[in-house]
Structure formats: C-alpha cells, structure tokens
C-alpha cells in the first residue's frame, strides 16, 4: 500500500499533489500519477512507471493543464506489473472519471468477469480498474457520484483506500476506506485527503 493525496480548494493542485507524493516516497513505490480537473472543467491525467522524478520530467517537458481539484497516487504493484498502463489513476465513463486506490480488492476477479460479460473493456491488469469501471457504470446510470461511489465500495472486499473524481463535479473528491488508512485535512476554503498525514501536513 503506497501513497494517496487528494485536494479541493482555490489553489492550483499539481504542485500540492506532487509535493505530497514526494513526502510519501519513504513508503516505497514503483509508479506515480496525478489527475486534475482543469479550468475548462476537463479531466486531465498523467501517470508513469518509475520514480516520481520520471513523472515530474514528463510534466515539465509536456505540461498538462492545471486545476484546483486533483488526486495523486504512488503505486506498489500487487495486481499487474509496474507499467504505465497499470499505474494509477484509472479512468472510466469515457475518461471523465478518475480513480486511485491503495490496497487489494480481493473479489476483483468475480467483479471483472461480470463487467466483461456486460461488454466493458479494460486497459490494465489491476484490481483497481475494476472499481473504476464499476463506479463509471453506476454513475452513468444515476448521475449521482456520491451514491454511485457508495454503492460500489459496499461491494468491494479486502483492503482499500479509494478516491474518485468526475469532471461533472469539478469541486468534489470522494473517498472511502476499509482496513487501510485515510486522513482528512479540513482547511479554510480547502480540504485534503491523504493515506498518511505526511501527504499534506505542511498545509
Ligand atoms: N492493488 C492496486 C494495484 O496493484 C493498488 C496497489 C497499491 O496499494 O499501490 O494497482
């Protein structure tokens, strides 16, 4: 289980996410990624296998739009090797939804075969993408992100800290935890989520 950070507030989030992930590096990891909802209300995502420096270099050479709502992740692979495709965030609902996850979803194989049977395709070998696709499917049906997230996490077994955001809801990051830590930082006009307080302690 590695690192998670989420941010909602008035500040541009990319630097907050990258700084938070760098303070979580001590936990060990093999890949890193971030997603933000930019000023035009569009979700942008970048993820890379390897050290955080690989992601930083990539963002410096090909900048991504910034935004005030964002999530960041460092991964320690449990399901699928340390590749760009398996790194988090995982996208669903026509790439409008981004999900990050620490932990292991023990019943992912049975949930995945249900989704494959319904015609959903997968871009990674992770257990996490199964949760992302399920949340996307439920959101597409209900248009209620909190309810979609809640109904999916209630079907997941194992250990998880999960964060999700959707471009229809530019000021919202939803989170849940089970057998895995999630710390909430309530600020003035801004809020943080982290797998560890180190993620946002400087704020
Ligand atoms: N089980 C997930 C994966 O393999 C998350 C691992 C983690 O906690 O970083 O992608």
- Give the model confidence (pLDDT) of 146-177 as tens digits: 999 999 999 999 999 999 999 999 999 999 99
Ligand 1 close to Cβ of residue 77 (< 6 A): yes
Reported confidence tier of residue 1, pLDDT bands at 50, 70, 90 = low
Over residues 128-142, the mean pLDDT reads 98
Tell me the CA–centroid distance for residue 194 and ligand 1, in Å: 15
Reported confidence tier of residue 5, pLDDT bands at 50, 70, 90 = very high
- The yes-or-no verdict on residue 144 having pLDDT over 80 is yes
Separation between Cα atoms, residue 67 and residue 155, nearest integer Å: 31
DSSP summary character for residue 197:
G
Ligand 1 close to Cβ of residue 73 (< 6 A): no
Q: Are strands 158-166 and 191-194 parallel, antiparallel or unpaired?
A: unpaired
Tell me the CA–centroid distance for residue 40 and ligand 1, in Å: 30
Tell me the CA–centroid distance for residue 157 and ligand 1, in Å: 14
This model's pTM is above 0.95 = yes
């Amino acid at each position: 289980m590695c690192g998670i950070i989420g941010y909602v507030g008035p500040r541009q989030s990319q630097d907050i996410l990258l700084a938070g992930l760098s303070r979580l590096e001590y936990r060990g990891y093999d890949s890193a990624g971030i997603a933000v909802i930019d000023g035009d209300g569009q979700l942008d995502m970048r993820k890379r296998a390897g050290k955080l420096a690989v992601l930083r270099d990539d963002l410096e050479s090909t900048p991504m739009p910034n935004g005030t709502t964002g999530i960041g992740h460092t991964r320690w692979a449990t399901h699928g090797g340390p590749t760009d495709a398996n790194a988090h965030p995982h996208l669903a609902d026509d790439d409008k939804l981004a999900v990050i996850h620490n932990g292991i979803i023990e019943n992912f194989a049975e949930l995945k075969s249900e989704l494959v049977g319904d015609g959903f395709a997968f871009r990674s070998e992770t257990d996490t993408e199964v949760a992302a696709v399920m949340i996307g499917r439920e959101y597409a049906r209900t248009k209620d992100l909190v309810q979609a997230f809640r109904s999916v996490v209630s079907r997941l077994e194992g250990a998880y800290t999960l964060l999700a955001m959707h471009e229809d809801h530019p000021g919202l990051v939803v989170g849940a935890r089970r057998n895995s830590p999630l710390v909430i930082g309530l600020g003035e006009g801004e809020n943080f989520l982290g797998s560890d307080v180190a993620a946002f302690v400087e704020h």
